[in-house]
Amino acid sequence: MTASLAHDRSHHDPVPREKPRPTFLHLPVLVLNATYEPINICAARRALILVLKGVARTEEEHARMVKSPSTSLPIPSVIRLLEFRHIPRQSRALSRKNILMRDRNTCQYCGNIFSPGELTLDHVVPRSLGGPSTWENLVACCKSCNHTKGNSTLGESNLSLIREPRSFNLHTSRQLMRMMGHSDEQWRKYLFY
């Protein structure tokens, strides 16, 4: 499904063209609790900081190295916290970042994938009509669809959601980690058990 959507970017092509940025610092890293339970995904940059600070250790490495004049370090693919952290199971903060993550940077109206900076949050039921700021009423939305929708309801705007917005609970986040884990063999043994 993602693949067919990815081919459908057509007119507003969202793929950032600028290269050669050190994008490996944005590679996703699986974060395990001290007990090896997968708890999160972070960017390689943050994972490296946690490792350098002695908060976490690298369990699996990417083939790539990050180089500075004085040292070179393998980029982690999986890290594990050295001290057990109690992770509240029920809720994740309702934040722009988490909603974009839940919606996988995909506009929930046109189905195209964008960079986070090109996405905005849309209230499905507009705030002006009393729509709350909740997981179930906020979705990732591209600027073009946001403009089309404005302050109207789904019916008025003739837009429809590509899927029902759900709360980002443990189930969703485990699912997300598994989905991403398919692209990284090294994650599998921590996610599929």
Candidates 51, 109, 124, 187: give the one binding Zn ion (CB under 5 A).
Answer: 109
Question: In angstroms, what is the minimal distance from the CB of 179 to Zn ion?
Answer: 21
Question: In angstroms, what is the minimal distance from the CB of 11 to Zn ion?
Answer: 11
Candidates 44, 47, 75, 107: give the one binding Zn ion (CB under 5 A).
Answer: 107
Between residues 101 and 110, which has the closer beta carbon with respect to Zn ion?
110
The distance of Cα 45 from the centroid of its chain, to the nearest Å, equals 15
User: Under 8 Å CB-to-CB from 81, ≥6 apart: which residues?
Assistant: 31, 32, 33, 34, 39, 50, 55, 56
The answer to whether 110 contacts Zn ion (rule: CB under 5 A) is yes
Between residues 60 and 122, which has the closer beta carbon with respect to Zn ion?
122
Backbone angles phi, psi at 74, to 5 degrees: -70, 145
In 3D space, the residue among 19, 140, 35 whose CA is nearest the CA of residue 83 turns out to be: 35
Between residues 107 and 191, which has the closer beta carbon with respect to Zn ion?
107
Backbone angles phi, psi at 185, to 5 degrees: -50, -35
The answer to whether 145 contacts Zn ion (rule: CB under 5 A) is yes
Candidates 47, 78, 142, 159: give the one binding Zn ion (CB under 5 A).
Answer: 142
Question: In angstroms, what is the minimal distance from the CB of 99 to Zn ion?
Answer: 15
Are 140 and 100 contacting, i.e. CB atoms less than 8 angstroms apart? yes
The answer to whether 100 contacts Zn ion (rule: CB under 5 A) is no
Between residues 61 and 118, which has the closer beta carbon with respect to Zn ion?
118
Burial 66-77 (b: 16+ CB within 10 A, else e): beeeeeeeebbb
Tell me the window of 49-57, 94-102, 106-114, 151-159 that interacts with Zn ion (CB under 5 A): 106-114
Helix (H, G, I), strand (E, B) or coil at 181: helix
**Contact positions toward Zn ion, by CB under 5 A?**
107, 109-110, 142, 145
